[in-house]
Structure formats: structure tokens, C-alpha cells
Structure 1
Amino acid sequence: MTALIFGLLLFLGLHSVRIVADDWRSGMVARLGAQRWKGLYTLLSLAGFALIVWGYGQARLAPVPLWSPPLWTRHLAGLLMLVSMLLLAAAYVPRNALKARLQHPMVLAVKVWALAHLLANHTLADLLLFGGFLLWAVACFRSARRRDRAAGTVAAAATTAGTLTTVAVGVLAWAALAFWGHAALLGVRPFAVG
């Protein structure tokens, strides 16, 4: 559990710098240069992510159950994951209605992903992992919206093609993950009975 906690602190801590110390971040970028800052940030983020993956895997070997989720929470999680995949697609497909309206669909995708997994899972490691990401996503979204208001940021106008592409990519990504990828990568079949 220690590796999971340390990984979460490192990864989410780095990704919280703009939330809690944006001026310090700007100063570091100016002092180190954008490329060196990005390189250091990426290296430390990957280290944090690796610790999260390894620590969570280790915690799954000796789970500490906290509650017993009802079966329907898996189905709700599956529906929420469809929303999450649509938001994730919206972050990358240009000129779509979700991005035009929400402006930060990636952070919202993380928020919905974390909530879905909190509902369907029940161990201490799940609470730390998904709860940590949920709290981070809430704070990050609020901070990003505040920065947008201060800067007068206006999202690019949406097009029908961009929106339809977003929906198609999101649905295909969800289906691939739900019916194949989740089991292949994590050994867990989300819609398995029992």
C-alpha cells in the first residue's frame, strides 16, 4: 500500500502544481526553460504512475474490503464509463460540442472514471486510488475554469462533423475497453456475472 500512496502523492502532487502554485510553476518554467520543465515533469509523472500501477497491483493481492457494492453498481459504472470515454474523445477530437461547452473534457473524463470505479469497487486500495483521482479532478476542473474566466478564454466553435466523430470515437473506445481491453490489461471483466 505504501507504493500506491507514494505514487499517488507524486503523480497527483505534480498534476496539482497549477492548482496550488501556478506562479511557482511559471517561475520554474522560466528558470529551467519549457523543454527541461516538461522533461522533468514527464519523468517524475511516469515514476509516479509506475508506482501507482505497481502499488495497486500489490494491494489487489491482499485486499482490505471496506463495503460490499451491490451488483447494479457495475452496470452504473459501465454507463458512467461510456460518458467518460465520450469526454476523453472530446479532449482530442477538434471542434466538438462537448469541448466547446465544457472546455476541459479530459479532467471531467477522469472525474467520471474515478466515480464509476468508486461505485463498483470496495477495497481500501480502490478508495485511495479512485478517491484520490476524484478529489484531484474536482479541484483541477475548478482551477482550470477559474483560469479560463480570468484569461477570457473562449472555446473553438463546434461543428457537426467534430461532434459526430467524438461520439463515434468515444463509443468505439468504450466498447473496446469494456468488452476486451479491461480484461486484457487488468484481468477484470467489467460485465462478468458473479
Structure 2
Amino acid sequence: MTWLVLGLIIFLGSHSVRIFANEWRQQTIARIGANAWKGAYSVISIVGFVLIVIGFGAANQGSTWLWYPPVWTRHLAALLILFAFIFLAAAKLPMSKLKSKVGHPMVIGVKIWAFAHLLSNGTVADFVLFGSFLVWSIVLYARSRRLDRANGVVYSGGAIKNDLLALVIGLLAYGLFAAVLHKWLIGISPFIAS
């Protein structure tokens, strides 16, 4: 569990700097340069991610069950994850109506992903991993929107074609991940009862 917690601190901490310590971030970029910052940020993020993967794998072996989710939670989680993929796709596309309404679709996608996995998984390791991401995304989204309002940031306009593109990309990515990649990367098929 130690490696999982350390990985979460490093990964989520590095992904929070822009929101919670932007002045320090800007000063550091000015001092060391943008490329050096991006390099350090990437290395730290990768280290955190690797520790999460290793730590979760180790912690999940024989992890204590907090609750035994009913089978229907898997179906609800599968539906919610579809929406998470659409929000993640919208985050990477030019301005869409969805992006203009929510401002930070990637954070909402992570929030939905974490909540869905909490519904359908009940071990202590699951609770630590997905609960951490859920709390982080809730706090980050609230802080991001507060900063948007304080700085007068308005997400206006957006093209409906980009929403349709986000929908198509989200559906394709969801299908690929659910049918093939989840089993290959995580070792569990989301649609086959274990």
C-alpha cells in the first residue's frame, strides 16, 4: 500500500501544481526554462504513474473487501465510463459546446471514471486508488472553476461538429478499451464476470 500511496501523492501532486502553486510554477519555468520544466514534469508524472501501477498491483493481492458490489454496479459503471471517454475526447478537441459549458471536461472525465470504478469495486486498494482520484478531481474542478471566475475566463461558443467528433472518438475509444485494452493492460475484462 505504501507504493500506491506514494505514487498517488507524486502523480496527483504533480498534476495539481498549475492550480495550487501556479506562481511557484511560473517562477520555476522562468528560472530553468520551459523545456526543462516539461521534462521534469514528465519524469515526475511517469514515476508517480509507475508507482501507482506497481503499488496497486501489490496492494490488490489479497486486499480486504470493504463491500461486495452487486452485479448491476458493473453495468452502471460501464455506462458511466462511456461518458468519461466522451468528456476525455472533448478535452483534447477544439472548443465544443460541451467544453464551453463545463470548462474542464478532462477533470469531469476523471471524476466519472473514478466514481464508476468505486461503484463496481470494493477492496481497500480500490477505495484508496479510485477514492483518491475522485477526491482530487472534485477539488481540482471546484478550484479550477473558481480560478476561471476570478480571472474572468469565459468558455464561450464552440462548434457542434466538435461535440459530434468527441462523441465518435469517445465511442470508438470506449469500444476499443472495453473490448481489448482493459483486459490486456489491467488483466480484467469489464464485460465478463470473473
Structure 2 length-normalised TM: 0.94
Runs (4+) off by over 4 Å? none
Alpha-carbon distance in structure 1 between the residues aligned to 2:119 and 2:79: 12
Which whole-Å CA distance do the structure 2 matches of 1:22 and 1:160 have between them? 32
Kindly tell me the number of residue pairs found equivalent between the two proteins.
194
User: Which residue is 1:64 aligned to?
Assistant: 64
Matched, 1:29 2:29: yes
In 2, the alpha carbon distance for the partners of 1:190 and 1:77 equals 9
8 Å CA contact retained: 2:97, 2:163: yes
Question: What code does the residue aligned with 2:192 have?
Answer: A
- Counterpart mapping for 1:135-154 below 5 A: 135-154=135-154
1:26 deviates by 2.3
Contact 1:19 1:139 in 2 (8 A): no
Which stretch of the first structure deviates more once superposed, 142-151 or 98-107? 142-151
Checking the alignment, whether the CA contact within 8 Å between 1:11 and 1:49 is kept in structure 2 is: yes
Give the residue type in structure 2 aligned to 1:161.
K
Question: Aligned runs of 1:176-187 on 2, under 5 Å?
Answer: 176-187=176-187
> For the Cα contact (< 8 Å) 1:110–1:133, is it kept in 2?
yes
CA offset at residue 156 of structure 1? 5.1
For the residues of structure 1 that align with 2:111 and 2:164, how far apart are their CA atoms? Answer: 23
Q: Which residue of 1 aligns with 2:119?
A: 119
TM-score by length of 1: 0.94
Identity %: 47
1:5-33 Cα shifts (integer Å, max 9, x gaps):
11011111222223432322222222222
1:173 equivalent in structure 2: 173
Work out whether 1:93 is the aligned partner of 2:96.
Answer: no
Match of 2:80 in 1: 80
Q: List runs of 5+ in structure 2 lacking aligned partners.
A: none
Rounded to whole Å, the distance in 2 between the matches of 1:65 and 1:140 is 28
